């Protein structure tokens, strides 16, 4: 079979995993712990997909590095304390990934999550075996910068024209565009547009 794409790179939160409630809850708890001004659930939903430091900077552009670090530390505490009971794969995800793997596609994840958070999620849903590569925002530059996508393509020997990025946020689509790859937006997930 002649395939247009060799590599399909998925975002994790909001694309494969329905985790918005867990992320919003952990962020609200972290903000309350630090005593910073509240942000709406919608404002927090809009930063899903960014790395943690970039997300905090978007929510609190007036805050300093010290405040960012404090919120990040508390967010990680609350997020990792939650056993993932509020998150689950979107319907049909496991079957889709298994079929793409069966057809010989390279599969990867490019996420704003930390390595620890992604490993926990992958282990909980038992999908580690399906992905040839994963990159997290604490290992490389955050979306929409294309570095994590370039690293995945280099590792798996795929050119941008052979790469499809599937995501639910503008950050996913912009990362693909910045790398010269193709993109596909899902109609569900963290962002409305």
Whose CA is closest to 116, among 77, 151, 142? 77
Name the segment(s) of the chain with CATH classification 3.40.50.1000: 7-18+88-185
CATH T-level assignment (fold) for domain 7-18+88-185: Rossmann fold (3.40.50)
Whose CA is closest to 13, among 63, 54, 58, 50? 50
Task: Provide the residue-wise pLDDT of the chain in tens; the chain has 193 residues.
Answer: 457 999 999 999 999 999 888 889 999 999 999 999 999 999 999 888 888 888 999 999 998 888 889 998 999 889 888 655 668 999 999 999 999 999 999 999 999 988 988 998 999 899 999 999 999 999 999 999 999 999 999 999 999 999 999 999 999 999 999 999 999 999 987 776 6
**How far is residue 22's CA from residue 120's CA, in Å, rounded to a whole number?**
14
**How far is residue 50's CA from residue 56's CA, in Å, rounded to a whole number?**
9
- pLDDT for the residue numbered 65: 85
Name the segment(s) of the chain with CATH classification 1.10.150: 20-81
Question: Maximum distance among all alpha carbons in the chain?
Answer: 57
Query: Would you please indicate which residues are annotated as catalytic (active-site) residues?
Result: 11, 13
**How far is residue 136's CA from residue 51's CA, in Å, rounded to a whole number?**
8
Extract the tokens encoding 86: 């509020």
> Is 153 in a helix, a strand, or coil?
helix
- pLDDT for the residue numbered 84: 58
Name the DSSP class of 15: T
The CATH class for the domain spanning 20-81 reads mainly alpha
Integer-rounded Cα radius of gyration of the chain: 16
Location of structure tokens 């867990």: 22
For residues 6 and 80, is the Cβ–Cβ distance under 8 A?
no
- pLDDT for the residue numbered 175: 98
- pLDDT for the residue numbered 85: 61
43 φ/ψ angles, rounded to the nearest 5 degrees: -65, -40
What's CA 185's distance to the chain center, in Å? Answer: 13
- pLDDT for the residue numbered 193: 60
């Amino acid at each position: 079979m002649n395939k247009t794409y060799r590599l399909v790179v998925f975002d994790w939160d909001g694309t494969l995993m329905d985790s918005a409630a867990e992320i919003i809850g952990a962020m609200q708890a972290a903000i309350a712990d630090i005593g910073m001004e509240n942000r709406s659930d919608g404002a927090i939903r809009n930063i899903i997909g960014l790395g943690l430091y970039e997300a905090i900077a978007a929510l609190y552009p007036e805050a300093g590095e010290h405040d960012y670090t404090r919120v990040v530390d508390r967010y990680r505490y609350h997020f990792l304390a939650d056993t993932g009971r509020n998150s689950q794969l979107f319907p049909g995800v496991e079957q889709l990934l298994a079929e793409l793997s069966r057809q010989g596609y390279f599969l990867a994840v490019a996420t704003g999550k930390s390595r620890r958070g992604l490993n926990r999620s992958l282990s909980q849903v038992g999908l580690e075996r399906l992905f040839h590569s994963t990159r997290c925002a604490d290992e490389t530059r955050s979306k929409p910068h294309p570095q994590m996508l370039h690293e995945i393509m280099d590792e798996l020997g795929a050119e941008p024209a052979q790469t499809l990025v599937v995501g639910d946020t503008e950050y996913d689509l912009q990362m693909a565009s910045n790398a010269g790859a193709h993109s596909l937006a899902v109609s569900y997930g963290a962002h409305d547009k």
